[in-house]
Structure 1
């Protein structure tokens, strides 16, 4: 499960993705419009900027903006910046590898082999889905919800 930090990051990034390209958004505006605690948001945005997904500007017209087009920002890159490695078991982790205490042989461990497949599918999905996909799915869901006709009497 993703943490609240990553969920807030998604909300902030979606907001920035629908903001005109030449505009920067102030942290205070972003925090208020997305209902995210300002101090927490500052930390999140700093991590995303260090990760190369955001750019910032100080002074008049300052704030944050996407550093890349939304269709070039993968969901996987966002999750990895904020959550770190996303392996389902530690023996598959590239950043935090640790051998399982109860494992006698990693090469023949059914749990590890199965979770390796899960990890491969998960990573593939996270790398093939983008911020633009997230924005578009939300738009489609809102359009669909608006077209619902209630025939009840």
Structure 2
């Protein structure tokens, strides 16, 4: 399950990708647009900056901007940066797998085998989707007329 941290981080990146790439955006604006509490968002933006996804400038006229073009930012990297491994259960993690407390036979566990498939499907979608695609999909959906 996606945490609020990753959800707010994705929304913050989409907001930055939707604006002028030369313009710095203040955290207060991102907080207002995404609905993320400002203090929580500050911690998320710091992680995104440390991961090389955004740049920041302090002081008057400061703010945040993307560090790379939206076509080069993959959503799988963002989610792993903020949430860690993409797996519905600890036993389905790729590198840091650990058996569930109640598991008797890890290798043949039917639930684990299904969750490995779920993990791979989620990871494939996230790893193939760029920030530009996510931004453009959101803009496309907003322009649709759903009236009959």
RMSD over equivalenced CA pairs, Å: 1.9
**Residues in 1 aligned to 2:33 and 2:106: alpha-carbon distance in whole angstroms:** 48
What SS is found at the alignment partner of 1:31? Answer: helix
Q: Structure 2 regions of 5+ residues with no counterpart? A: none
Maintained 8 Å contact 1:26/1:64:
yes
Partner of 1:26: 26
- TM score, norm. by length of structure 1: 0.84
1:88 aligns with 2:88: yes
**Residues in 2 aligned to 1:106 and 1:100: alpha-carbon distance in whole angstroms:** 8
Map 1:1-16 → 2, pairs under 5 A: 1-16=1-16
The count of aligned residue pairs is 148
Q: Structure 1 regions of 5+ residues with no counterpart? A: none
**Residues in 2 aligned to 1:149 and 1:92: alpha-carbon distance in whole angstroms:** 43
Which deviates more, 1-10 or 45-54? 1-10
Q: Deviations 1:75-128 (Å, cap 9, x if unpaired)?
A: 111111111112122112246432223333333222222221221111111101
Larger radius of gyration between Structure 1 and Structure 2 = 1
